[in-house]
Chains A and B, each alone.
Chain A
Amino acid sequence: EDKVVQSPLSLVVHEGDTVTLNCSYEVTNFRSLLWYKQEKKAPTFLFMLTSSGIEKKSGRLSSILDKKELFSILNITATQTGDSAVYLCALYGGATNKLIFGTGTLLAVQP
């Protein structure tokens, strides 16, 4: 069965801290892994990863994929209160060739 597991479920940090969010998966027909940020409303796209070991970076956010060990991490450095959100990991592929979402990690950044 295709599945995506994110950890931790929730996290509280202080501004300036660095956080690492985890996403592990089991999926047939892997095509890509995606990270989304969801604030109060709709998820917004952050990164897409298809190859192992290649880091994607956008400002203070970065992500990397390990296809051998079947996981990805999302790092956020020097966190700000505006980083508070649910971070969703999703796999594209699987038996239905659709997006399969994890349950998300709720990140709260306190001033």
Chain B
Amino acid sequence: NAGVTQTPKFRVLKTGQSMTLLCAQDMNHEYMYWYRQDPGMGLRLIHYSVGEGTTAKGEVPDGYNVSRLKKQNFLLGLESAAPSQTSVYFCATQNRDRAYEQYFGPGTRLTVT
């Protein structure tokens, strides 16, 4: 079992470029989350999904879009990257109603120049 995987691991973008981050899980978890982690800011929730075909905004959703077309995949899109989106992005999955069992992916380090 791979658990939670994220693609890519690293990426450098120029301002205005777009990209999609992929999170894939093989644990059959209903809930999936996208966080960003910045120095001194902790982990902040961008968007989340409670099931296939559903998404919702978290604490810092602006500039990002998400899709959950299949249960095992959660995509995070940046349509027009900005330097403020330089961060480490973590995906997490969760079995329904068991918050302490959020399993995190290894992270994607994104730099926007």
Q: Which residues of A contact B (CB under 8 A)?
A: 4, 9, 31-32, 34, 41-45, 48, 88, 90, 92, 96, 98-99, 101-104
Contact = CB atoms under 8 A, between A and B. Distances in A.
Interface centre among A48, A88, A98, by most B CB within 10 Å? A98
22 contacts: A4-B42, A9-B40, A34-B100, A42-B4, A42-B104, A42-B105, A43-B43, A43-B104, A44-B104, A45-B100, A45-B101, A45-B102, A90-B43, A96-B45, A96-B58, A98-B58, A98-B99, A99-B43, A99-B45, A99-B99, A101-B43, A103-B42
Contacts of A96: 45, 58-59
A96 B44 CA distance: 13
B77 interface: no
Contacts of B106: 41-42
B107 A88 contact: no
A45 B102 CA distance: 8
A42 B42 contact: no
Contacts of B33: 98
B2 interface: no
B44 A99 contact: no
Q: Interface extent on B, as a size class?
A: 20 to 34
Interface of B: 4, 33, 35, 40-45, 48, 58-59, 90, 99-102, 104-107
A60 B105 CA distance: 26
B42 A88 contact: yes
Contacts of B101: 45
A31 to B, nearest CB: 7
Given A41-B106, A43-B104, A34 B43 contact: no
Given A42-B107, A99-B43, A99-B45, 10 more contacts: A9-B40, A34-B100, A41-B107, A42-B4, A48-B100, A90-B43, A99-B99, A101-B35, A103-B40, A103-B42
Contact of B41 (A32, A44, A98, A103): A103
